[in-house]
Structure 1
């Protein structure tokens, strides 16, 4: 199975508590990080692929160290495809690649600097960190992160970030930090389209 998530921001202490950007109501980064790991591993097993659409940790170039980020990432189930976010660094990607545990002889990690395009059930997905403006398209969605507290006002842009308000469109609420499945992405897209149509 394939899952999608963005903006985990492991170790990011500035997000703790009430704020206008991405309030994370935890007493410590350790508690926040464990909540993210728990929500991820409750859904994902080692046969699954998770597309992480950027901003793994804050700030992996300085603190925490690349080793600290690796130790978090190694706790996450599944194979992970990383799309580079504005807080990710080539140095971190190279470190993760050099220290890939290679479960079953296959890479656990793969990397894209700009984005990736995949197809699931006749639906084309542009996977990026920053939202794209696609114009008029059919059976095409842009899954992205970067915007923590608001939504792009087009139905083809789906924010899969941990803090995305679009997650509230799901009929069945997920634990905070859960990666999204494709049927949940489609549900969000449909409900978002319905909401935007009412606003016209």
Structure 2
């Protein structure tokens, strides 16, 4: 079976204030989280790969059971690129996230390939990234659509109109970007 790769950032599951802070079109955090799960599972199959570029959930110590339950409902082999809301006060990966069944150990950045292209993944936008001058793309989150991409980089957060609270493929995310 053909495996697809998907990318998404800034789901902020269980983060009630994110609805108001980022003008997300949901009446409640339950509606928000359920929409993300439904959208995710509408495109991702069990054997597909999903790179989550940080800020998976919020208030991880308080909402640990809810975060675990939501994680297990999401299809695919999930990789976490660590975001600022994924760590504890010391900067370590929060134990709730560390205990989840990620496809590999969560990392602060990751280099991979997709569509025959080199791709640098991180939660925060970079002005320069590995192989940038050789046509490498860079996907990031964190900025909630407020920091435009530069060159072959772009925000892949759920807040972006073309992401629309759903994991997207490399082809979808790079459409219209001059390579």
Q: Report TM bin, short chain.
A: 0.7 to 0.9
For residue 196 of structure 1, what is the aligned residue in structure 2? none
Measured in 2, the distance between the counterparts of 1:179 and 1:33 equals 14
Determine if contact 2:135/2:152 at 8 Å carries over to the other structure.
Answer: no
Sort the Cα spacing of 1:12 and 1:131 in 2 relative to 1 into closer, same or farther, 3 A.
same
Distance change in 2, residues 1:186/1:64 (3 Å) = same
TM-score in terms of structure 1 length: 0.77
Aligned twin of 2:151: 155
Rounded Cα–Cα distance in structure 1 between residues aligned with 2:78 and 2:31: 22
Deviation at 1:155, TM superposition (A): 2.4
Gaps of 5+ in 1: 101-107, 168-173, 194-200
Asked if residue 138 in structure 1 is aligned to residue 144 in structure 2, the reply is: no
Structure 2 gap segments, 5+ residues each:
88-92
Give the deviation of 1:23 after TM superposition.
Answer: 1.0
Could you list the runs of 4 or more consecutive aligned residues of structure 1 that deviate by over 6 angstroms after TM superposition?
none
RMSD of aligned residue pairs (Cα, Å): 1.9
Higher fraction of helix: 1
1:153 offset after TM fit, Å?
Answer: 4.5
Spell out the pairing of 1:4-153 with structure 2 (5 A cutoff): 4-17=7-20, 19=21, 22-60=22-60, 62-65=61-64, 67-89=65-87, 90=93, 91-96=95-100, 100=101, 109-134=103-128, 137-153=133-149
| Deviation for aligned residue 1:186 | 1.8
Per-residue deviation, 1:132: 1.1
Between Structure 1 and Structure 2, whose CA radius of gyration is higher?
1
